[in-house]
Amino acid sequence: MNAPQPMTLKKPPAANTVDRAAGGVNRARWLRNALPGISLVVLLATIFIMQPRAMSYMGMNLMLNLAVPIALATIAQMLIITVNDLDLSLGSFISFVACVAATLLNDHPLLGCLVLLGCIGVYALLGALIHSRRLPAIVVTLGMSFIWVGGAVLLLPAPGGSAPQWLQALVKIKTPVLPFAIVVCVVLAVAVHLFLMRSRFGVVLRGAGGNPLAMAKAGWSLLRIKVTLYALAGGFGVLSGLFLVGLTTSADANMALRYTLLSIAGVILGGGEFTGGRVSPIGAVLGALTLVLAGSLLSFIRISPDWQIGAQGAILILVLALRTAVNRLEVRPV
Amino acid sequence: MERHTLRCALLSTALLITPFMHAQADTADKTIALSNNYAGNSWRQSMLNSWQQTTEQAVKDGVIAGADSFTTAENQATEQAAQIQNLILQGYNAIVINAASPTALNGAVKQACDAGIVVVSFDGIVTEPCAYRISMDFKQSGLDGMDYLAKRFPDGANVLEVRGLAGVSVDGMIHSGVVAGASKHPQLKVVGSVNGNWSQTAAQKAVAGILPSLPKIDAVVTQGDDGFGVAQAFTAAGRPLPVIIFGNREEELAWWKKQKDANGYQSFSISSAPSISSLSFWVAQQLLDGKQLPHDLLSPAISVTQDTLESSLKGLEKGGIVSQVYSVDDVAQLKSPAPQ
């Protein structure tokens, strides 16, 4: 769905229709940007009606604190998707980070920090490798996923370990008025939005996904762009793993495997697309929250477990169908 | 006159209700939830069935207000942690857990305890100290099998060990029981060991692979869901049938019965009961009722012997597992494990 293209193919219409068309496109674009927010609000309202107990500080905290690592993972995935790649190793990477945090970081803080920095370095190298050898990112990251899981099993052959005390205390901070989970999500969304959508460098990063040739011709190093984005993704992955292990207090080599697909779904739900550098950080965070809340809602409705996974898929398809409809509005303005 | 009628009505209502009120326990307004991580094999299916049967009856009897079961879709610890947090929010008084990971749920379990919720874990237990743990003495079950073999082969025997999934704690515990049995009965020699992954087909493949390199095998110890595959492997290789220690599965017992009728085959079978879920329900109910119980409890193992084979097989559906129904009285008989 590369929306603007069919517009340029059309014959130039009369001046007043152009205005009206532009208005339609704007409205459609606004709707498209608002869709992740609207679906989240609808979901939240349904939950509050079903389970009024959720409408409290403690309720929101319980429902959303496991959403923070997913939101961080979604941002990491979004950075990779920005340059039209896909990271299939994210879930196992986050599991690995969690295992490092529950073992090395706890026993030898310095060594643990070095390993985590090394992880970010590995992500940067991956970006360089994928760019310079023109390898498909899906295949490289799929291979890496086995390496991360293997490393996690070596560190922690049986589930266990213990997250550092400061980490456990950090994720349990009680902020005034709004629960910590919501504060983190808001800060995360706004910060990444300002960086990626508003800063000059952010435009360059997105441009590398939208039109790499033009960026290269304009004198930007695509290698450096990819390395930056991959390193940033690795950084958010590390944050996600740390936050997760702070919540669970101990680790398991398989604990976050599900995050790979969740993060991709979160990006797409939040209005991102697989091609063309079209991503939205705020949308991605909202998408991650939507996914988590959809799970809560199904549990509150007491849908039989046999149907739950299907119902979760149905919610996803519903939101995506809405978006396709909005996209169509954008292509064919009234 | 009118007032009199009203009084009569009230009195008769009270008289009608009173007997029911006596029948109710102190937990009549409490709710218990089951958080389960996986439903994809026969053991888990009978575990869920047992939960449903027990709790339906308990709700009908007014012992408890509700007992819903929730299974996560993908057998992932993070998903189950989120599920437990939702259950806290829904206001259940107790949560019974069969956990995806012994450690990764500890954060959520602690939150539940802090919210005043009774947490009971069984089978897949959690290590968080505030939770209760009910599990079988797996080491003892491995040792029981070896004890039986020592009686059958006082003059010594070559034993093949079929283990479960590598890296899973239950496999390690049963194995330690087998090792303890081998040192207790020096005439039993463990000559080989393979991983059967608690699956008949995987066990058959693994045993078929190792058989050519082994001397005559007199006995095989298994962990359950693998004995039938072992028997198939021996038949296919044309080897004499050894004494196989089974794990209470219907196909294993049916094969045993067939051999018994044909040539007087003798064996022994032991495994944990899937109805441990109903036992856990009663433990949770008793805890809500104010009973004090130790945090670590041992559930009894179920064994099938030559004499009880027919009675165990009777009424066992195809693909099922020998089980037993627990009642509230069984909770009082639970023991804590001996200190290690």
Q: What is the DSSP string of B206-269?
A: HHHHHGGGS----EEE--SS-HHHHHHHHHHTTPPPPEEEE-SBHHHHHHHHHHHHHH----EE
Q: How far apart are CA B325 and CA B302, in angstroms?
A: 12
Strand, coil or helix: B189: strand
**Do both B151 and B114 map to the same domain?**
no
**pLDDT tops 70 at residue B98:** yes
User: Are A61 and A181 spatial neighbours (Cβ–Cβ below 8 Å)?
Assistant: yes
Are B69 and A305 inside 8 Å of each other by CB?
A: yes
Share of chain A above pLDDT 70, in %: 90
Are B73 and A256 inside 8 Å of each other by CB?
A: no
User: Are B25 and B87 spatial neighbours (Cβ–Cβ below 8 Å)?
Assistant: no
Nearest Cα residue to B153 out of B233, B85, B217, B105: B217
Q: How far apart are CA B64 and CA B33, in angstroms?
A: 11
DSSP for B262-312 reads HH----EEEEE-TTHHHHHHHHHHHHHTT----SEEEEPEEEE-TTTHHHH
- The confidence score (pLDDT) of residue B228 equals 93
Report which DSSP code applies to A19. H
What is the pLDDT averaged over residues B297-317? 89
How is residue A299 written in tokens? 């549990």
Nearest Cα residue to A272 out of A192, A333, A180: A192
Question: The dihedral of CA A189, A191, A196, A198: what is its sign?
Answer: positive
**pLDDT tops 80 at residue B287:** yes
State the pTM of this model. 0.77
- The confidence score (pLDDT) of residue A249 equals 87
**pLDDT tops 70 at residue B107:** yes
Q: Mutation test of the interface with chain B: which of A247, A262, A303, choosing the one with the most B Cβ atoms within 10 A?
A: A247
**pLDDT tops 90 at residue A89:** yes
**Do both B87 and B119 map to the same domain?**
yes
Among A56-65, A202-211, B15-24, the range scoring the smallest mean pLDDT is B15-24
Q: Nearest 5°: CA angle at A315, between A314 and A318?
A: 85
**Do both B86 and B142 map to the same domain?**
no
Q: How far apart are CA B250 and CA B256, in angstroms?
A: 10
How is residue A94 written in tokens? 């986050």
Q: Which of A153, A158, A300 sits opposite B169 (nearest CB)?
A: A158
Half-sphere exposure of B37 (CA within 13 A, CB side): 23
Q: How far apart are CA B26 and CA A87, in angstroms?
A: 54
Are B107 and A247 inside 8 Å of each other by CB?
A: yes
Helices A67-82 and A90-102, axial angle in degrees (round to 10): 130
pLDDT tens digits, B228-250: 999 999 999 999 999 999 999 88
- The confidence score (pLDDT) of residue B18 equals 45
* Band of pLDDT at residue B146, cut at 50, 70 and 90: very high
**Do both B286 and B261 map to the same domain?**
no
Considering chain B, what is the average pLDDT of its residues? Answer: 87
Give the CA-trace dihedral at B304, B306, B308, B313, to 10 degrees: 80
What is the pLDDT averaged over residues B99-107? 87
Q: Which of B71, B83, B89 sits opposite A53 (nearest CB)?
A: B89
* Band of pLDDT at residue B1, cut at 50, 70 and 90: very low
Sheet holding B66-71, edge to edge: B66-71, B31-36, B94-98, B118-122, B132-136, B296-299
Domain assignment present for residue B307? The answer is: no
> Which one of B272, B287, B311 terminates a domain?
B272
What is the pLDDT averaged over residues B14-39? 70
User: Are A270 and A285 spatial neighbours (Cβ–Cβ below 8 Å)?
Assistant: yes
What is the pLDDT averaged over residues A226-235? 96
Strand, coil or helix: B162: strand
**Do both B259 and B246 map to the same domain?**
yes
Q: Mutation test of the interface with chain B: which of A66, A103, A291, choosing the one with the most B Cβ atoms within 10 A?
A: A66
> Cα A127 vs. chain centroid, distance in angstroms?
18
- The confidence score (pLDDT) of residue B5 equals 62
Share of chain A above pLDDT 90, in %: 54
- State phi, psi for A313 to the nearest 5 degrees: -60, -40
Residues 6+ apart with CB under 8 A from B251: B200, B228, B319
What is the pLDDT averaged over residues A35-55? 89
**pLDDT tops 70 at residue A87:** yes
Distances (CA, A) of B266 to B76, B113, B253, B311: 41, 48, 11, 16
A30 versus B265: which is more confidently predicted?
B265
How many domains does chain B contain in total?
Answer: 2
**Do both B181 and B228 map to the same domain?**
yes
Q: Which own/partner pairs from B17-23 qualify as long-range (CB within 8 Å, at least 24 positions apart)?
A: B20/B62, B23/B61, B23/B62
According to CATH, the topology of domain A20-331 is: ABC transporter involved in vitamin B12 uptake, BtuC (1.10.3470)
**pLDDT tops 80 at residue A23:** no
**Do both B161 and B188 map to the same domain?**
yes
Ranked by mean pLDDT, the top range of A166-180, A232-246, B37-51, B169-183 is A232-246
- The confidence score (pLDDT) of residue A28 equals 76
Share of chain B above pLDDT 70, in %: 91
Domain assignment present for residue B268? The answer is: yes
Strand, coil or helix: A137: helix
Q: How far apart are CA B21 and CA A310, in angstroms?
A: 42
**Do both B194 and B277 map to the same domain?**
no
- Structural element, H or E, at residue B34: strand B31-36
What is the pLDDT averaged over residues B259-283? 92
What helix, strand, coil percent values describe chain A, rounded to 5? 75, 0, 20
How many CB pairs lie under 8 A apart between chains A and B?
102
Confirm or reject contact between A244 and chain B (CB < 8 A). yes
Reported ipTM: the value is 0.76
**pLDDT tops 60 at residue A16:** no
**Do both B124 and B238 map to the same domain?**
no
Domain that holds residue B296: 31-130+273-300+324-332
Q: Which residue of A has its CA nearest to B77?
A: A255
**Do both B256 and B290 map to the same domain?**
no
Nearest Cα residue to B171 out of B115, B222, B119: B222
- Neighboring chain A residues of B68 at a CB cutoff of 8 Å: 302
Domain assignment present for residue B239? The answer is: yes
Are A59 and B89 inside 8 Å of each other by CB?
A: yes
Among A22-26, A133-137, B172-176, B295-299, the range scoring the smallest mean pLDDT is A22-26
**pLDDT tops 90 at residue A183:** yes
Largest Cα–Cα separation, chain B:
98
Q: How far apart are CA A293 and CA B206, in angstroms?
A: 44
**Do both B159 and B208 map to the same domain?**
yes
- The confidence score (pLDDT) of residue A45 equals 93
* Band of pLDDT at residue B334, cut at 50, 70 and 90: confident
How many CB atoms sit inside 10 A of residue A190's CB?
A: 13
B291 versus A3: which is more confidently predicted?
B291
B299 versus A310: which is more confidently predicted?
B299
Are B73 and A257 inside 8 Å of each other by CB?
A: no
B336 versus A175: which is more confidently predicted?
A175
Residues 6+ apart with CB under 8 A from A292: A63, A64, A66, A67, A70, B82
Q: What is the CATH number of the domain that holds B63?
A: 3.40.50.2300
- The confidence score (pLDDT) of residue A267 equals 92
User: Are A98 and B76 spatial neighbours (Cβ–Cβ below 8 Å)?
Assistant: no
What helix, strand, coil percent values describe chain B, rounded to 5? 45, 20, 35
Residues 6+ apart with CB under 8 A from B311: none
**Do both B176 and B291 map to the same domain?**
no
Q: Which own/partner pairs from A84-88 qualify as long-range (CB within 8 Å, at least 24 positions apart)?
A: A84/A209, A84/A274, A84/A275, A84/A276, A84/A277, A85/A130, A85/A137, A85/A138, A85/A141, A86/A137, A86/A138, A86/A141, A86/A264, A86/A274, A87/A137, A87/A141, A87/A233, A87/A260, A87/A263, A88/A138, A88/A141, A88/A142, A88/A145, A88/A260
Among A6-15, A68-77, B10-19, B199-208, the range scoring the smallest mean pLDDT is A6-15
Are A308 and B73 inside 8 Å of each other by CB?
A: yes
